[in-house]
Amino acid sequence: MKISIITATYKSEGTIADTIASIRSQDYKDIEYIIVDGGSNDNTMDIIAKAEGVVTLSISEPDNGIYDALNKGLALATGDVVGILHSDDVFASENAISSVAAKFIEKKVDAVYSDLQYVDQNDLNKVIRYWKSCDYNPKLFYKGWMPAHPTFFLSKRCFDEYGCYDLSFFTSADYELMLRMFVRHKVKSAYIPKTLVKMRVGGQSNVTWKNRWIANQEDARAWKVNGLKARFYTRWMKPLSKIRQFVE
């Protein structure tokens, strides 16, 4: 089973070396690693160029944001399964990808996800938040639940059949994609109860209260574009459910 990993970069010279190193450390060898850069003018591409034998393919050109870059990567991907590793994130262990591959084969599923650690920008061992997930239940999305996107792996067939990231969404294209796959198309999934990814704090949808409000509005629209009807409390339960990530 070939697994494609896509990383979108833009002026990522401070973190991309760690991301590449975590790919290099994986004990699973059938990995296609694609980096899509948005036209960086710092040392990002120089660092990528030195990662011979790790990076399968890289491109650098202007884009319309991270989701556009990820869609470019999806168009290039040839793996059976596709995962996303952001340019300031790392895999938590050297067997992260082999764990994902084993779960896909064992459970014969189209999607796999796991737990996520939010870590300090400068100390990847300092955990700020812990996103503990659970086995999927059809009622969960209605209660504001979603898998942690950085841990989400999906079969390439599902992307080809059900579509990629919807670029009309500014911060919630990942939520819309997973809502579309889990609730609308009912893809079969499996949960790995351990941390597979460490994510540096500071995601786009959480940077400011304004962005959080935009994300909340987009979350509501995600249900509408998929012909789904959320509960009246769904869009408010989603941000509230994240409070427990600071205490667990």
For residues 188 and 145, is the Cβ–Cβ distance under 8 A? no
What integer pLDDT is reported at residue 214 of this predicted model?
77
- CATH number, domain with residue 209: 3.90.550.10
pLDDT digits (tens, 9 = 90+) for 192-225: 999 999 999 965 444 566 676 777 889 999 999 9
Beta-ladder partners of 155: 81
For residues 153 and 58, is the Cβ–Cβ distance under 8 A? no
Q: What is the pTM of this model?
A: 0.92
Residues 6+ apart with CB under 8 A from 245: 118, 129, 130, 131, 132
Could you tell me the residue range of the domain that residue 162 belongs to? Answer: 3-246
Tally of domains in the chain: 1
pLDDT digits (tens, 9 = 90+) for 84-104: 999 999 999 999 999 999 999
What integer pLDDT is reported at residue 246 of this predicted model?
57
Low-confidence stretches of the chain (pLDDT < 70) are: 202-210, 212, 235-248
